[in-house]
């Protein structure tokens, strides 16, 4: 049984769409993705370093102040909060 021209076009579009999904992201858009560590590996590295995830809720103005200070801190947000907690609890 022959197919109509519009059916052939739809079938071709599905094939092309499938190839595009399977192709993945070109290197030029994912530069640096090879250097980054996946989440599982990052969790393993953090656990080996003795780091534990810790979440809490803060007022918005305090969080904004922390973000501003973390931008200039060499350890980022994690280093800044760790230093502030050590200083406050020490």
Q: Per the domain annotation, does 5 fall within a domain?
A: no
pLDDT in tens, 5-42: 999 999 999 999 988 888 776 666 656 555 667 888 88
Asked whether residue 40 is domain-assigned, the answer is: yes
Residue 11 within a domain: no
In a domain, 16, yes or no: no
Residue pair 20/28 in contact (Cβ under 8 Å)? The answer is no
Q: Structure pTM? A: 0.53
Residue 77, domain extent: 27-89
Is 20 domain-assigned? no
Helix (H) or strand (E) holding 3: none
Total domains in the fold of the chain:
1
54 vs 83: CA distance, rounded Å: 15
């Amino acid at each position: 049984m022959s197919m109509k021209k519009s059916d052939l076009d739809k079938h071709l579009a599905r094939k092309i769409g499938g190839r595009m999904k399977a192709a993945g992201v070109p290197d030029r858009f994912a530069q640096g993705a090879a250097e980054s560590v996946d989440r599982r590996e990052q969790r393993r590295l953090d656990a080996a370093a003795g780091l534990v995830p810790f979440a809490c809720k803060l007022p918005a103005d305090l969080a904004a102040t922390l973000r501003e200070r973390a931008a200039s801190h060499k350890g980022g947000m994690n280093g800044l909060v760790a230093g502030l907690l050590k200083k406050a609890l020490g």
